[in-house]
Amino acid sequence: MLLITTLVVAVSIIYYNSNIERINLQYKSLMQEFASLQIKRLKWLHNHYPKYNKYPRDDRYNSAIYDLEHDLIFSTLKSNKINFNKKLYFSDGYAIYVEILSDYYLGAKYLFIEVPKNGSLIAKVYKNIAIYGISALIILYLLGYYLAKLFIKPMKDSIELLDCFIKDTTHEINTPISIINSNIEMLKKDNLSQRDLKKINRIKIASRTLENIYKDLKFSMLENIDKATKDKFNLKDLIIERVEYFAMHMESKRITKELDLKDFIVEGNRELFARMVDNILSNAIKYNKVGGKINIILREKELIIEDSGVGIDKKSIAEIFNRYSRFNDSEGGFGIGLSIVKKIADFYKLDIKVESKINEGTRFIIRW
């Protein structure tokens, strides 16, 4: 839009300047003729002065003569503005042409010729700029819109395809996840060897990761945030619960956690807040180093979750909340987790801030 407007404005300026130049040339050529005529008359008067002393006048133009010291000798000009440095200028509705005389007839070095400015010439230029400029703008906007639509279509199609795929698969993965989870819980762990127990734990972690992805997809594709119920709960309890849920994930990467939690009663949908904490926490685990650290601080109206992970570069921070945006390809995922966090934060009018340093870690700060 801006490019098209700039283009049309630039063309209009070029058109305007070229027309102004053309109009000036028209004035110049006309006034040069008047100047030649006036010089002839001045010459005659010079030769017959003081017997004749009537300054030559003409209905078609006004004129004035100035000596080389810029002193006025005689003037019939209507305009008050005198400019010795310009060949042609406009003042008080008049075009004024300045001719420098080589022979100082009557002592005059400068001859000013003045004609009324023809407003219709410039009005025509403005009219043309308005008509053609607006027409060009409309045509180019329509063309731009059509082309943009044409170029964006493949991208839009692929996003729609991805959405459809996710919607379809989301319906199908819930049952298998539930079966895996319930069967793992039903297993009698006392009868299992240490080696098998380890394997079961890995299956449990994988299943929970899958469960988390399922919840995100379900929230993202199928649930309406506006219809969420309103609960009153202690956020501290929720965080402890969610940390417990991810405990196995943390253990698998030998991540240590430090919790500094104070009671904070929140009004809102508990499940939505769980989604928000889960996504930040799962990222903090996923992108953390082996043997890394996660700190969670909860104070009145402030929640901070920080990790010692790979960090996000400054450029990517602005985009991390965009849907399907993934700031690191080292780990899997759809790139919808943080867009869910943002959506929930926006819904509850929470201020969410991200601070990050490459290879040092990332800090999410949520304020009420």
CB of 65 to other proteins, least distance (A): 9
Of 38, 63, 79, 109, the one binding other proteins by CB under 8 A:
109
Question: Is residue 6 within the footprint of other proteins (CB under 8 A)?
Answer: no
Question: Is residue 100 within the footprint of other proteins (CB under 8 A)?
Answer: no
Residues contacting residue 203 through CB under 8 Å, at least 6 positions apart: 180, 184
What are the phi and psi torsion angles at 234 (to 5°)?
A: -90, 120
Question: Is residue 323 within the footprint of other proteins (CB under 8 A)?
Answer: no
Q: Which residues pair with 265 in a beta bridge?
A: 234
- Cα–Cα dist 58/98, whole Å: 17
Question: Is residue 112 within the footprint of other proteins (CB under 8 A)?
Answer: no
Question: Is residue 72 within the footprint of other proteins (CB under 8 A)?
Answer: yes
Q: Which residues pair with 363 in a beta bridge?
A: 306, 355
Closest CA to 18 of 129, 112, 110: 129
Question: Is residue 47 within the footprint of other proteins (CB under 8 A)?
Answer: yes
Question: Is residue 84 within the footprint of other proteins (CB under 8 A)?
Answer: no
Would you say 108 or 276 has its CB closer to other proteins? 108
Q: 321 with 342: CB under 8 angstroms?
A: yes
Question: Is residue 104 within the footprint of other proteins (CB under 8 A)?
Answer: yes
Of 46, 87, 204, 218, the one binding other proteins by CB under 8 A:
46
Question: Is residue 226 within the footprint of other proteins (CB under 8 A)?
Answer: no
Three-class secondary structure of residue 160 per DSSP: helix
- Cα–Cα dist 113/99, whole Å: 8
Question: Is residue 55 within the footprint of other proteins (CB under 8 A)?
Answer: yes
Name the DSSP class of 52: -
The gap from C-alpha 181 to its chain's centroid, in whole angstroms, comes to: 46
Would you say 45 or 129 has its CB closer to other proteins? 45
CB of 24 to other proteins, least distance (A): 28
Q: Which residue type, as a one-letter code, is found at position 32?
A: Q
- Per the listing, tokens 């310009």 go with 86
Of 27, 97, 105, 112, the one binding other proteins by CB under 8 A:
105
Listed ranges 62-70, 85-93, 146-154, 183-191: which one lies at the site for other proteins (CB under 8 A): 62-70
Question: Is residue 68 within the footprint of other proteins (CB under 8 A)?
Answer: yes
Listed ranges 46-54, 161-169, 226-234, 249-257: which one lies at the site for other proteins (CB under 8 A): 46-54
Q: 339 with 323: CB under 8 angstroms?
A: yes
Containing H/E element for 209?
helix 194-221
Interacting residues toward other proteins by CB under 8 A: 46-47, 49-50, 53-55, 67-69, 71-74, 103-109
